[in-house]
Amino acid sequence: MRAFVRSTAPIDGVNDADLGGDSHPASVEGFSALGRKAFTFGIDAQGQDKFKAAARSQGYQLEAIKLETRQLDDVQPIRDLINKILHQRVTSPSEPMFLSLSGSYSIDIEDPANDRWIRLVPEPGEAFSLPAGALQRKNRISRISLSF
């Protein structure tokens, strides 16, 4: 999983793809030190079973969601809703855990202790969790399929 410290806060529609002029890579260990967790499970059935077992053991409820707008027969209102959900800033009411199954996306996560934002770019088969109350914003790069 790649992680970057953004030099600027994310602004919807303005700097979604840009990290800012002086952004730099961040280690996954540094990400974990902020109370976030990163895992690698794989996308095959065995990897998904491991993810489900890990999520259940930590008290997570499991729910799979596919955000593949090409399968929606170009139903524009649904596509608009998915994009709105993906690009809004939200605060997690509980501690979410995500497994990336396919596609590519990034998620910007606020690090209020250091007054910065961290962008995660998970690959298929990688998972991460965020603490409750974390301010986050997802950015779709291509079709994605996530398991929550």
Give the distance, in angstroms, between the CA of residue 80 and the centroid of all CA atoms in the same chain.
19
Span 9-31, mean pLDDT? 61
pTM across the whole model: 0.63
pLDDT digit string (tens) for 74-97? Answer: 555 555 555 554 545 555 556 777
**Statement: residue 115 has pLDDT above 50:** yes
**Statement: residue 138 has pLDDT above 70:** no
**pLDDT at residue 40 in the model:** 85
Which residues share a beta bridge with 107?
120, 138
Q: Where are the domains of the chain?
A: 2-14+23-147
The residue with greater pLDDT, 135 or 64, is 135
CATH tag for 2-14+23-147 (out of 2.60.120.10, 3.40.470.10, 2.60.40.10, 2.60.40.420): 2.60.120.10
